[in-house]
Amino acid sequence: MKRRDFLKFIGIGGAGAAAGFVLGKVSKPPGAKLMPYLVPDENIIPGVPNWYASACNMCGAGCGVHVKVMEGRVKKIEGNPEHPVSQGRLCALGQAMPQVTYNPDRIKGPLKRRGERGTGEFMDITWEEAFALIAKNIGDLAKANSAAGLYLLTSQQRGRLGTLMDAFMSACGSSNHYQYSLFDRRNLNFANHAAMGIDRLPHYDMENSKYVLSFGADFTTWLSPVGHAAAYGQMRQSGKGGRGRLVQVEPRLSLTGANADEWVPAKPGTEAMLALSVAHAIVEKGWYRGGEVDGWRLSLSRYKPSVVAEAAEVSEERIYEMARSLTHVRPSLVVGGDNLASYQDGVSGLMAVNILNHLAGNIGATGGVIPNPAPAIKQDSSIDFKRRLSALAADAAKGKVKTLIICDTNPVFTTPVESKTREALRAVPFVVSLSSFVDETSVQADIILPLHTAAEDWGDDTPEPGVGYQVTTIMQPAVSPYYNTKGAGDIFLGIAKKMGGKAADRIKAASFAEYLKDSWREAYSRDRAMSSSALTFDIFWENLLKRGGWWPDKSKGAARRAAPVSARSVNAYLPQAPSRFEGADTEYPFYMILYPQAAYRDGRGANLPWLQELPDPMTSVVWGSWVDMNPKTAARLGVNEGDLVNIDSPSGSITVPVYIYPGIRPDTIAVPIGQGHSQYGRFARQRGVNPISILPFREDERSGAVALNATRVKVSSAGQGKLVKMEGMTRELGRGIIKYTGGKGHEG
């Protein structure tokens, strides 16, 4: 960095942040000069940090954080000790937030395409020019009576930003707001609504449970990693009733499975039937104490443990053991994670989990499944299960999509090649992308509008899953924008203002910060719990920013009641056979399981060098991809650790190095998700492989969730390769070293 740029950065950035904290907004002070510290701001003391309470947006958990700022630069992110979800803790993804703000590959200003789509040739334009182009395009649709041709594709939105997006679309005459991200919980939301009548994810009260049966829920990546890690730690402490016990059912041993008391390596695709056989055992043995006994006996009749044990390759004795523990070790809890939800019939597997919780008496009970109350501020934006990605792609192919605005999602990277998402984008006449980076999706856009990062923006969020009572997190800027970027809320407001007319009349806020504050003012006036906490709204708002959000005492957060799970209502969701995998087993002998790597999740962390350098906790691999392979499988194929193998599915092929891993079934291989980017900056580009690309494009027919565990593959040697990892050599070199011992008679 040049000396002049450095002085501009520490001077203007620091003064902006200080002014923002005091005045309630962050902006460069008028007439900021190169050396404003001639008369330093009273809030800026060199070497002394300021801490700002805010929210993490690196995943969907909604953790509260504290941002450490020194001389206008973000130095550190920590968990907010007062926040009910993070409790002062933070995962690696959250710790890497500063590298998003100061990433050298961030888009520095609005861009307009000047070459062919996908070539990455863009030219700089001003915000005024960008807003004018977009406003004219949307206005032309309205004049041609084609307002319905405007589509919006975003990640799952909560809080005021989601409400503003819906208001913007309504003002433009369109209702086509689609939401998609790879781990958007569509299957879980659908199953919970169908079984219990709840619209929000419940609180899984693991902290107070004494027996947890997990079907593929890896707490390092599932739903709320920080919250679940803390709860798991509390469960394992020797408190009243003794130390809690965890049983993990999954074909590949995850980090959570490695910390469990017992690993059950069920055959891929049979987990739903296995869960229902446990349910069958509960009813058969008379351990179920609720109603509809005859109805449940009839519904579960096809899942006899003697039959399912053979299909799942799990002993009948173990099935009865799990059933007994669920009903006799109290309180107990059953959870279904991403591995279970990612099959083609993911809804069925999660429905089986809900049935087990009902039969064990866990729903609504301490240490079980506790429905969450409605958010403190009404949210209008929710998942519509009919608005799925395949429907949007089909509309694009038919020419129905005239203008597409994409915000905070990368479907080209996170969907199989078979989905033809890239081709669908190219069929849309005008595409606008709101993104901080040029990724695989935004490179297809006509206009790219760069976004603020979480350290620079305003927002609020309702954590999901919640903690059993109302919690809302506030995001506030800690520093001035480093580049010429804007927040998503201000972008939609700017477009509406440029359009004028109905759009401008319906959304009148001057800024998203004002829109956010006005929304909270309304909630303060309406909610007695809020208004009783402060004499005036201004005092309430100041406390809100200092605390980092709003949450009442637990006693005031009355949870919703769940509808009882009915045997008759769930019959339509029960699986008739193991989940389907594409490809004949004669040609494709291995199941392929995909799983999110803790540092990269759906790929969003791959452009951050801190996370690339972070060793995977199970393999210690860094800066690349690998395939987990059982030692017996590797010996049969004649490959050693680090050797390259071709993985071929009916839909494509990838080449990846082998990691010899005893914690996986011999008939299964597993590849982590997150690497293999063709765009997304220097740290992510052309590094590793994207296993999603070779999947068949399959969605759960009920929810529209994209299936990740959907194909069989064949594996063949491709010669020597390199595997960069932090652990030492694991080869035996002919010495016959015993690498591990398995429990319950299992071998690697």
pLDDT digits (tens, 9 = 90+) for 340-393: 999 999 999 999 999 999 999 999 999 999 999 988 887 654 677 888 999 999
Average pLDDT over residues 281-295: 96
238 Cβ contact partners less than 8 Å away, ≥ 6 residues apart = none
- Residues paired with residue 459 on neighbouring β-strands, in sequence order: 475
pLDDT at residue 23 tops 50: no
Average pLDDT over residues 504-511: 91
What pLDDT does residue 19 have? 37
User: Does residue 24 come out as left (phi exceeding 0), alpha (psi in the -120 to 50 range) or beta?
Assistant: left
pLDDT at residue 21 tops 90: no
Q: Distance between CA atoms of 17 and 480, rounded to whole angstroms?
A: 5
pLDDT at residue 470 tops 80: yes
Average pLDDT over residues 515-525: 93
Which stretch of 172-181, 464-473, 561-570, 633-642 has the lowest confidence by average pLDDT?
Answer: 561-570
Could you report the per-residue pLDDT of 618-672, keeping only the tens digit for each?
999 999 999 999 999 999 999 999 999 999 999 999 999 999 999 999 999 999 9
What pLDDT does residue 361 have? 96
Neighbours of 737 (CB within 10 A): 9
Looking at the chain, the number of H-run helices and the number of E-run strands are 26, 25
What pLDDT does residue 238 have? 67
What pLDDT does residue 727 have? 81
The answer to whether 624 and 675 are in contact (CB under 8 A) is: yes
Which residue type sits at 698? R
Inter-CA distances, 85 with 82, 223, 227, 465, Å: 9, 12, 5, 9
Q: Distance between CA atoms of 343 and 589, rounded to whole angstroms?
A: 18
pLDDT band at 42 (very low <50, low <70, confident <90, very high): low
- Per the model's pLDDT, the better-predicted residue between 554 and 479 turns out to be 479
Inter-CA distances, 224 with 56, 663, 740, Å: 12, 24, 31
Q: Distance between CA atoms of 43 and 36, rounded to whole angstroms?
A: 13
The answer to whether 194 and 351 are in contact (CB under 8 A) is: yes
372 Cβ contact partners less than 8 Å away, ≥ 6 residues apart = 198, 200, 201, 202, 203, 464, 465, 466, 467, 468, 469, 559, 560
What φ, ψ does residue 67 adopt, rounded to 5°?
-105, 120
Q: Are strands 64-70 and 73-79 parallel, antiparallel or unpaired?
A: antiparallel
Which stretch of 132-136, 297-301, 335-339, 386-390 has the lowest confidence by average pLDDT?
Answer: 386-390
Nearest to 459 by CA among 164, 86, 107: 164
Which residue type sits at 145? N
Q: Distance between CA atoms of 457 and 482, rounded to whole angstroms?
A: 11
What pLDDT does residue 104 have? 97
pLDDT at residue 743 tops 70: no
What pLDDT does residue 239 have? 63
- Residues paired with residue 318 on neighbouring β-strands, in sequence order: none
Q: What is the DSSP letter of 267?
A: P
3-class secondary structure, 588: coil
What pLDDT does residue 634 have? 98
Neighbour-count burial for 509-532, b at 16+ CB within 10 Å, e otherwise:
bebbbebbbebbeebbeebeebee
Mean pLDDT of the chain: 90
| pTM of this structure | 0.91
3-class secondary structure, 227: helix
Nearest to 572 by CA among 387, 355, 371: 355
pLDDT band at 737 (very low <50, low <70, confident <90, very high): low
Nearest to 433 by CA among 148, 149, 690, 134: 134
The answer to whether 84 and 467 are in contact (CB under 8 A) is: yes
Average pLDDT over residues 213-235: 96
3-class secondary structure, 161: helix
What pLDDT does residue 247 have? 98
The answer to whether 222 and 337 are in contact (CB under 8 A) is: yes
pLDDT at residue 254 tops 50: yes
What pLDDT does residue 693 have? 97
Could you report the per-residue pLDDT of 125-136, keeping only the tens digit for each?
999 999 999 999
Could you report the per-residue pLDDT of 150-175, keeping only the tens digit for each?
999 999 888 999 999 999 999 999 99
What pLDDT does residue 233 have? 94
Q: Could you give the angle at the alpha carbon of 345 between the alpha carbons of 340 and 349, nearest 5°? A: 45
Write down all domains in the chain, each with its CATH number in brackets.
Answer: 1-102+459-484+527-559 (2.20.25.90), 111-182+377-451+486-526 (3.40.50.740), 203-370 (3.40.228.10), 590-717 (2.40.40.20)
Which residue type sits at 433? S
Nearest to 510 by CA among 568, 458, 556: 458
pLDDT band at 562 (very low <50, low <70, confident <90, very high): confident
Q: Distance between CA atoms of 459 and 567, rounded to whole angstroms?
A: 42
What φ, ψ does residue 97 adopt, rounded to 5°?
-50, -40
Could you report the per-residue pLDDT of 106-148, keeping only the tens digit for each?
999 999 999 999 999 999 999 999 999 999 999 999 999 999 9
What is the token pair recorded at 236? 């394992």
Which alpha helices (H) appear in 372-468, and where do they start and end?
389-397, 411-414, 421-426
What pLDDT does residue 37 have? 58
What pLDDT does residue 386 have? 81
In which element (H, E) is residue 311 found?
A: helix 305-312
Nearest to 372 by CA among 529, 198, 209: 198
Which stretch of 235-244, 272-281, 334-343, 432-441 has the lowest confidence by average pLDDT?
Answer: 235-244
What pLDDT does residue 25 have? 38
What pLDDT does residue 38 have? 62
How large is the angle between the packed helices 305-312 and 271-284, nearest 10 degrees? 160
Which stretch of 171-185, 231-245, 364-378 has the lowest confidence by average pLDDT?
Answer: 231-245
User: To the nearest 10°, the Cα dihedral for 361, 354, 159, 489?
Assistant: 170
Cβ-in-10-Å burial (0-12, 13-18, 19+) of 316 comes to middle
Which stretch of 47-56, 260-269, 644-653 has the lowest confidence by average pLDDT?
Answer: 47-56
Average pLDDT over residues 260-282: 98
Q: Distance between CA atoms of 432 and 131, rounded to whole angstroms?
A: 11
Q: Distance between CA atoms of 344 and 168, rounded to whole angstroms?
A: 34
- Per the model's pLDDT, the better-predicted residue between 35 and 309 turns out to be 309
